[in-house]
Every structure is written in C-alpha cells, then in structure tokens.
Amino acid sequence: MTRASDPDVAAGAVFAALSDPTRLAVLREVAERGPITATELAGGLPVSRQAVAKHLAVLQGAGLVTPARSGRENRFSASTAPLAAAERWLADAGAAWDTRLDRLAALARRTSR
C-alpha cells in the first residue's frame, strides 16, 4: 500500500465533505448567500443550527469554507481553491485511465489480427 500524497489527501477531504447531500446543500447556500452565519443557514435548511454547525466544521476542515469573526458570530464564506485541486485530481485520474484504456485497445487490436 502506498502513502497518499498531499494532493490525494486534500482531494479526499473534499470528496468526503461533499459526499453528504446536506453538506453539499450547506456549501451551495454559503456560496450563493455568504458570508453567512450558521443560524442564517439553518433558517433555510431542513436541519437544526447544531447540525449546520457540524456540517460547516467538516467543510472548514476540507478548506471549502472559511469563517470570519463578526461581533459574536462567525460568518462563513466559500473557498473554491480546494474544488480546483479536486478537479485537477479527477482530471489526472481520468487521464491515467484513458492511457490504460488506450493500451488495452491497442493490445486487443494486435491480438485480434
């Protein structure tokens, strides 16, 4: 088993964070309405403020949202950099599979002659 590289770890955190439909909805709301508080988010979602806060913590851990203190509240904004890193990871993985499939197709052509 190989150790995961930093891009693999970062992409994995993004994929894990986005794998939950509620968390994906929270991120979408932050992106569209931010900077926004957990209380404001909970008002528009079918989950409690505590659940929103937990989802925000996971999104923050993946770097997808960043909090900024505003008085007694944290206002969350979306961060697109981790999405770009995950997109690069997907593109690299797709390219690797394309190469493998091209080799397999070439082998199949050679052996079918």
For 10-25, the pLDDT digits (tens) are 889 999 999 999 999 9
pLDDT score, position 5: 67
| First CA to last CA distance, the chain | 38
From the number of C-beta atoms within 10 Å of its C-beta (0-12, 13-18, 19+), residue 38 rates as buried
Report the C-alpha gap between 51 and 82 in whole angstroms: 23
For 48-84, the pLDDT digits (tens) are 999 999 999 999 999 999 999 989 999 999 998 898 8
Class of the domain covering 6-111:
mainly alpha
Give the global pTM: 0.78
- Residue type present at position 10: A
Report the C-alpha gap between 67 and 100 in whole angstroms: 42
Percent of the chain with pLDDT over 70: 96
